[in-house]
Chain A
Amino acid sequence: MSSDTFLIKVRNLDVIYGEKIVLKSINLNIRQGEIVCFVGPSGAGKSTLLRHILGEEHPRIGSVYVNRQKVKGPNRDMGFIPQSYSLFPNHTALGNVAQGLYLDRCSFGKNLMYDFLKLFKIKTPFIKAIEAEALACLEKVQMQEHAYKFPHQLSGGQQQRVAIASALSMKPSVLLMDEAFSALDPETKMSIRENLLELKRTNNLTIIFVTHDLDGDVPALSTRLIAVTRHYNGGDHTGAKIAFDSPHPLANEDLSLSERIASPQTVAWIARVKHECFDPNYKQDEQAFTLEHPDALPQTHIVLEETII
């Protein structure tokens, strides 16, 4: 299998803030269509890793490639849904979705012109087309009836749905979510997961998400789990590493969400993950499955070869 099939590649990524080493020698391959979740203790560096893939932060050591391009900054190929401030307060739900469409399709000057037209509520065919498209995106997340509400008039769950619609309207190749649903209630979470899974099936979307929800998000959504944990060398924190990289035991099965969560295999996997991830004294027992993902790379400095990149 050629390494070119990997959509996202992280190579020898070190993240150092001042004196503090956050991430050390991170190496990672992710294929298109995977749903990867980053788990690990708070402050270990999951979000930092995600934001480096997103390009919000630039690595001084190591590199991140998406679609064989070195990531220079957040761009239109990536959808991003943060936990908070996922919507623009000055736009309606529809406006939030349409915003991306305008930005993607119009020049700066044209956008100024459309701002001017919108000020006087003049609708050209182009504006109508964009609004129809945005409304269609909202329909996919069942938010069409709240299209003309502002974010402050929406509940947390509704806001995140709009954020999903807004991100997906751009048809990104990767969707990155940073604890996007942590603050929501279980029922809302469930229905949003259904939404995402449906979208993933239809678009073959790659999703990377950071979560704390080992009992919900991980077993329900993911196809692959990556644990980022702190690494100590004689009491000194030497930067977090990928502790293990594990495939979901039912990754390739076509099951409903509740079936995936309830399955004994998933339960056993999660139990193992919890120990591995959060209990350093845990010794590996005779569990039936491996935590080693076939695409996993060694978490030490690897020599870069042109072919890999």
Chain B
Amino acid sequence: MRFRFGNRAQIPLWEKILLGVIPFLFAALLYNHFATQRLIENPRDKVLPSVSKMYHSMSEFVMKTDRHSGKQQFFEDLKASVISLIAGISVAFVLALFIGITAGSYPLINALVMPIITVFSAIPPAAIVPVLFMIADPGYELSILFIFMALFFVLVKDIVNQIHKIPRNLNTLLFTKGASELELGRENLYMILPGILQSLKINLPLVWFALLYGETLGAQNGLGTRIFILKRFSANDIIFPYILVITLIAVTVFYGIEFIIRKRYAWYNGDEK
């Protein structure tokens, strides 16, 4: 008998797709309903533009070149945001791995760094913008710093937590295999790497938020910068497609990480015999 419910339930692919599409359909219908209603009341309404209006505005916007630089604004924005994302995520991930692994593996370092990390992680970056201006220049630097701050502390705490959850037997085993204290950190790294990727995947929404906020602090190009400039005009016919682009990047990164975990770390989700 096949289980229809419960966390081991096997659902055929077509049912999965159908179930997945229903909420989107519902959201689209709801949007269309309210958009139409608003447009009847006020044909100039920009709060909920119609889909065709969004399509036309966006395709026009994508083709348009900036009158001063002569470049296509949309691609400049996309490029800037992607660079900030890659830089911010990689710096946060690599540094968090380094600090997290050492703090998780060596109690002395843990005692040194964890209190300050715990305190700093509680500070919302947006609340200390004047201080951040002193650390980084407005523009790319601040966007990257924001992404870094959003991600770094969460990851460090999670890495330390995951290392502490490694069964003690495995630590003992390592020493009986002749591992040094230094090797302990290295082996711990390999054991938790997929877990940290998983954690990164789950914490990605923090990154999108940080990217948008960071870009308001003086980035001249960027998806977030454009959204906030256009917000002045309530130009949702371009803002919504921009959000769609961000969503697409988000979904790609999300499934990209999932793909890496599945391919490279098959043992992590190891279920199948």
Write the residues of chain A forming the contact surface with B, with a CB cutoff of 8 angstroms.
Answer: 54, 56, 73-76, 78-80, 82, 84-86, 88-90, 99-100, 103-104, 108, 111-112, 115, 150-153, 166-167, 170, 172
Number of A-B contacts (CB under 8 A): 83
Task: Indicate which residue in B169, B186, B190, B270 contacts A150 across the interface (CB closer than 8 Å).
Answer: B270
| Closest residue on chain A to residue B182 by CB atoms | A108
B78 within 8 A of A: no
Q: Is the CB of A74 within 8 A of B172?
A: yes
Minimum distance in angstroms from B241 CB to a CB of chain A: 40
Point out which of B177, B186, B187 has the most chain A C-beta atoms below 10 A from its C-beta. B177
Q: Which of B176, B182, B183 has the most CB of A within 10 A?
A: B176
Q: Are A103 and B270 in contact (CB under 8 A)?
A: no
Q: Tell me whether A112 and B186 are in contact in the complex, defined as CB-CB below 8 angstroms, given that A85-B170, A90-B191, A150-B270 are known contacts.
A: yes
Bound Cα distance A190, B266 (Å):
32
Tell me the minimal C-beta distance from A210 to chain B in angstroms: 13
Check B176 against A150 for contact (C-beta < 8 Å). Answer: no
Residues of chain B at the chain A interface (Cβ within 8 Å): 167-170, 172-180, 182-183, 186-187, 190-191, 265-268, 270-273
Would you call A104 and B178 a contact (CB within 8 A)?
yes
- A76 contacts B176, C-beta separation under 8 Å: yes
Q: Using Cβ atoms and an 8 Å threshold, which residues of chain A touch B176?
A: 54, 74-76, 78-80, 100, 167, 170, 172
A145 to B82, CA, bound (A): 47
Task: Known A108-B183, A108-B186, A151-B267; judge A86-B177 contact (CB<8 A).
Answer: no
Q: Could you tell me if A84 and B167 are in contact, using CB atoms closer than 8 angstroms?
A: yes
A89 neighbours in B (Cβ, 8 Å): 191, 267-268, 270
**Chain A residues with CB under 8 A of B179:** 103
The interface centre, meaning the residue of B172, B191, B270 with most chain A CB atoms within 10 A of its CB, is B172
Top 9 A-B residue pairs of the complex, sorted by shortest distance between their CB atoms: A152-B270, A100-B177, A76-B178, A74-B175, A85-B167, A104-B178, A82-B169, A85-B169, A150-B267
Output the least CB separation between B176 and chain A (Å).
5
Query: In the complex where A85-B169, A152-B270 touch, is A103 in contact with B191 (Cβ < 8 A)?
Result: no
Given contacts A150-B267, A150-B270, A153-B270, contact A88 B178 (CB under 8 A): no
Closest residue on chain B to residue A155 by CB atoms: B273
A219 → B minimal CB distance (Å): 27
**A56 — which chain B residues lie within 8 A by C-beta?**
168, 172
* A101: min CB distance to chain B, Å: 8
CA distance in complex: A39, B168 (Å): 23
- Which A residues are in CB contact (< 8 Å) with B167? 84-85
A103 and B178 contact, CB distance less than 8 A: yes
